Structure 1
Amino acid sequence: MSQERRGIPRREFVKSAVAIGGASALAACLDRSPGPIPTGTDDPAALPERQHAWNGALAVDDAGNALNARHHVLLLLDYTGDGKPTDADRETVEAALRSLERAYEHSNEGLLFTLGYSRAYFDRYDAAPAGVDLPRPEALAPFEDPDADTPDAVLHLASDRGDALLGAEEALRGNQSEANGVETTSWEGVFTVAGRRTGFVGSGLPAEHDDVSGVPEGAVDEDSPLYMGFKSGFRGAQASEDRVTIQSGPFAGGATQHASYIELNLDQWYEQDSRYQRVAKMFCPAHAENDRVEGVGENLGASSGVASCEAPEKTAREQGVVGHSQKMEGVREDGSPLILRRDFDSTDGGRAGLHFVSLQRDIGEFVETREAMNGTDAAEESAVGQRNNNGILQYMNVVSRGNYLLPPRSERALPRAEP
C-alpha cells in the first residue's frame, strides 16, 4: 500500500509513533518500514569506550557538520532496589545493553544510546562520583523557576529509524524478547520508567508538526531542522568529543550531560518579528544588515560566522539588540566551545518545545555557557532588557533541568561512586 493511500507521510507518521510509544506504535512503524535495519556486533571491543562517541557514527552534511539523528527518546529511570545496587542488577543492565548492541548497528541508521546517572543516584553511596563535577540541578537565571529532574538515571536513545527506537525500548521494558530479529534481554525488575520524553530534529520535521501550542501553523520554513527556523549544530560552534571527555580519574572516558526541557513561545517570533529581527536575534545584527543568512542558514557552511560580529555589549548599546550566537562566541577555551549540543525539538504535552541536551567535561562548563546566554553584561549596559531583544531568551521558558554523569562504557551499568 502506498504512503499516499495510507494518508500520512511516513516520516510524519514515524515521529507520531515514537511520541506515542508502545507495542502497537512499534507494530505500525514496522508496517511502514523502509527496509531492514543494520544489525550490530557481538564484539564489545568493536565499540568505543566513550558512550558519547557518536560523531563518527552520524551522517554529515556537505560542510562536514555532524547531523543529529532524526528521532529521540529520553527515558527517566528509577532504580527499584533499596540502597546500593547489587552486582546481579549490574549484570542484568549490562546484558540488556549488550543485547541492543548486537541487535542494532552503532550508527544513525541503527541505534545510538547513552545511559547517565544523577547526583540523586550517587546519594546511595553517600558520595559524589569521584573526580567529577556533578552538582544538583538548579535555576540558572533570575527569571527561571525550573523543576529539578532527579531520577536515578536517564537513557537517551537516538536513531533515524523510529522502529529502532521503539524496538529497543520495548526490549528493555521486557515487552518483547527480540529486537531487529536478534534475541534480547530486558532490565525489567531493575529499572522502572519514571518519565518518557520524545522529539525530533531534521529538515522538514518541525514544519510537519507545527499544529501544536507555541508555534503559529504554517510559519516554520519547510526546510528548517528546528522550530526556530534556522540550522544549528555548526561544527565551528560545537566542542569536539575529545574536548567534552573527562580526562582523568575513575570516570575518565566519560562525560557529563545536562538535559533541560524548554517550552517555546514563537507567536511573536513569527507573527510580530520580521525576518530581519529573527536573524539579528539568532545570529547578530550584522548578519541581518548584510543579509548573510540564506533560508535556514545552509549557506553558512561549517560556522555561523558570528566571530566577525562586534562585541555583544557594543551592539546592545548601539542597536538595542544582541544575537544569541553572538553571545555564545565568547564562551571558548583555547579557541574551542565548551559544550557539545545534541538537542532536539518536541511536541510533548501538545506544545512546541526543545529538549536541550549538552555534553561537557563538567557541569560548570555548561553553567558558564548558560550565563553567557543570559547576556547580563549586555543588558546592564544598554536598552536591551533582561530578556527582551536579548538573543532568544524571551521565546523560551525552562520547565526542568537535570544533570547526569555518562560513565565510560565499561562502567555504565549502575556504577559505584568510586569504581
Structure 2
Amino acid sequence: MPPSRSRGVSRREFVKAAVAIGGASALSACLGRENPDLPQGPDDLSALPRRQHAWNAALSTDDHGNHLQPRHHLLLYLDYTGDGAPSDADRETVETALRSLERSYPRRHEGEVGLLFTVGYAPAYFERFDAALPDGVDLPAPEPLAPFEDPAPDEPDAVVHLASDYGSVVLAAEEALLGEQSTLNGREMDATVEGVFERASLAEDGPNRRTGFIGAGLPADNQDVNGIPDSEPVPDDSPLYMGFKSGFEGNQASEDRVTIGSGPFAGGTTQHVSQIHLNLGQWYEQDSREQREATMFCPAHADEDRIEGVGDNLGTDTGVEACAEDLDSDAREKGVVGHSQKTATVREDGSPIILRRDFDSTDGGQAGVHFLSLQSSIADFVRTREAMNGSDLAEDTAVRQRSNNGILQYMSVRRRGNYLLPPRENRALPSPRPSE
C-alpha cells in the first residue's frame, strides 16, 4: 500500500485483493479475514430453479426493493481439453462437479448470498459440432460495436461466473471446481472438471480469470489504481467507481424478459461480457457535479437537482424515460446528452430489454468494469449499445462523437465476448441440438 494512504488496509480491501490474486494462499488469507459461517447446501437439488440466471430470489434488496448484486465476482474462462464433440462421460463429470458446488453452499443464508454461478458457452465452442445451433438462438461472434473501439474478441469454450457476498467462497469454489482442493465447505467434491476443462488460452494475452466487486464502500476502499485521480474522489457510499448507483428495477429487464422462450434452450439466456477500462481523471477533477449528473442521467435531472448523493432518493426508477423524448433538443440546445437518457430509448412495452449484472474491477491495477448483461438475444444487447453510441446525435448536433455524449469518453472497451447460458439440465457441455 502506498505511503500516501493514511488508513490501514480494510477487510474489504484485503478480501478484494485476495480474490484478484487467487490461489490457495490467497484463499487461506481471505478465510482468516472473513471466516464465513455458512451451512452446506441442500442434498436435494430438485427445488433449484431451472434457469441458471434466476438469481433474484437469492439476492437482498435495498429499502426501495432494488436487487443488490453479490459483492464479489469471478469470471473463469475455460477450454475443453478434448477433440471434437464432448463425450457423455465428460458431460457427466462436469454436471457432477457443478452439483457438488450447489451442495456445498446455499444460494442464500441469513440475508446474504452464499454461492451463485452460471456456466456459458461461446460461439467457438459450438464450432466443434457438425450441427449448427437451432434457428432462434442468436449467438454471433463478438465484434466492435462502435467506430471508435477495437476490442479483442474473447472466444474460450466456456466461462463460469462465480458470485458471493464472501470473497473466500468465490475463491474456494474456483479451487474446488478445478481440482486444486478436494473439499468445499467441509464437503467432499464428488467430481471436478480437472482433465475436462483447463484455463483458457485467449487471444492477445487476455486474462483467463477476471475479478471484481460491487457494493457501497468497495469502490472507495479500492480506488488507489490507474484511472482514478490521486485525490481519491470516489464517494464512500458509492457502489460503483463513477459515484452513482445502478441496477434500478425500473431500468432493468426482468428475468422473464431475458429468458429464451422456445426451442431446445428454452429457459436459458444469452450473456455478453465486455472488459472496460475507466479513466476518471476529468470526471472527478474537471467535471462539476452538475456535469456528471447530466452525462450519467440526463440534463433535466441535473438542471432540476433531482439526484441526491449516489442516487438512493430515486427509488426504483431513475425517471430518464421521460428525458429520452428530449434527446435531439438536448443535443442541439445544451450540447450534452445523458447515458441513461440514450439507453432509455431502447425499450419494448415500456420495459428495458437487457438485465445488467456488471461489476467494477481492479484487474491489472486498472480501474475498470466487467459489463455483464443478460438478454434473450445478443441482438438486444447490440441495440442497446448502438443507442448508447448516440452516433446520429454526434453527426447532426454539437454533441461530438464521444465528448458530452453520455459517458463514452471515460470508457475504453478492451475485450468482448458472447455466450449462451443453457438451462440447468443442459449446462454441462451441451450439444447445439440437445433434444436430438
1:41-91 Cα offsets, whole Å, 9 max, x none, are 112211000000001110100111000110000011100000110111101
Cα drift, residue 39 of structure 1: 2.1
Residue 287 of structure 1 corresponds to which residue in structure 2? 301
Of 178, 194, 197, which aligns to 1:188?
Answer: 194
SS at match of 1:45: coil
| Distance (whole Å) between structure 1 residues aligned to residue 282 and residue 30 of structure 2 | 36
Please show how residues 373-384 of structure 1 align to structure 2 within 5 Å: 373-384=388-399
Residue 134 of structure 1 corresponds to which residue in structure 2? 139
Unaligned runs of 5+ in 1: 1-5
SS at match of 1:157: strand
SS at match of 1:320: coil
Cα drift, residue 34 of structure 1: 4.2
Cα drift, residue 239 of structure 1: 0.1
SS at match of 1:16: helix
Residue 262 of structure 1 corresponds to which residue in structure 2? 276
Residue 93 (str. 1) matches residue 77 (str. 2): no
| Distance (whole Å) between structure 2 residues aligned to residue 398 and residue 45 of structure 1 | 40
Residue 150 of structure 1 corresponds to which residue in structure 2? 155
Residue 202 (str. 1) matches residue 208 (str. 2): no
Cα drift, residue 380 of structure 1: 2.3
Residue 393 (str. 1) matches residue 394 (str. 2): no
| Distance (whole Å) between structure 2 residues aligned to residue 11 and residue 209 of structure 1 | 9
Residue 322 of structure 2 corresponds to which residue in structure 1? 308
Runs of 4 or more off by more than 6 Å in structure 1? none
Cα drift, residue 169 of structure 1: 0.5
Cα drift, residue 7 of structure 1: 5.1
| Distance (whole Å) between structure 2 residues aligned to residue 155 and residue 65 of structure 1 | 25
- Summarize the Cα distance change of 1:247–1:307 in structure 2 as closer, same or farther, 3 Å threshold: same
Residue 234 (str. 1) matches residue 248 (str. 2): yes
Residue 120 of structure 1 corresponds to which residue in structure 2? 124
Letter matched to residue 317 of structure 1: R
Letter matched to residue 187 of structure 1: V
Q: TM-score, normalised by structure 1?
A: 0.97
Cα drift, residue 209 of structure 1: 0.9
Unaligned runs of 5+ in 2: 1-6, 201-207
Letter matched to residue 264 of structure 1: L
Taking only aligned residues, the RMSD between alpha carbons, in angstroms, comes to 1.2
SS at match of 1:402: strand
1:286-337 Cα offsets, whole Å, 9 max, x none, are 1111111101001001011112324211101110000000011111011110
Letter matched to residue 122 of structure 2: S
Q: Are the counterparts in 1 of residues 36 and 166 from structure 2 also a CA contact under 8 Å?
A: no
| Distance (whole Å) between structure 2 residues aligned to residue 365 and residue 336 of structure 1 | 12
| Distance (whole Å) between structure 2 residues aligned to residue 183 and residue 85 of structure 1 | 26
SS at match of 1:44: coil
| Distance (whole Å) between structure 2 residues aligned to residue 385 and residue 126 of structure 1 | 47
SS at match of 2:73: strand
| Distance (whole Å) between structure 2 residues aligned to residue 158 and residue 289 of structure 1 | 38
Q: TM-score, normalised by structure 2?
A: 0.93
Please show how residues 12-411 of structure 1 align to structure 2 within 5 Å: 12-107=13-108, 108-130=112-134, 131-184=136-189, 185-194=191-200, 195-217=208-230, 218-309=232-323, 310-411=325-426
Size of the aligned set, in residue pairs, is 414
Cα drift, residue 163 of structure 1: 1.1
Q: Are the counterparts in 2 of residues 256 and 362 from structure 1 also a CA contact under 8 Å?
A: yes
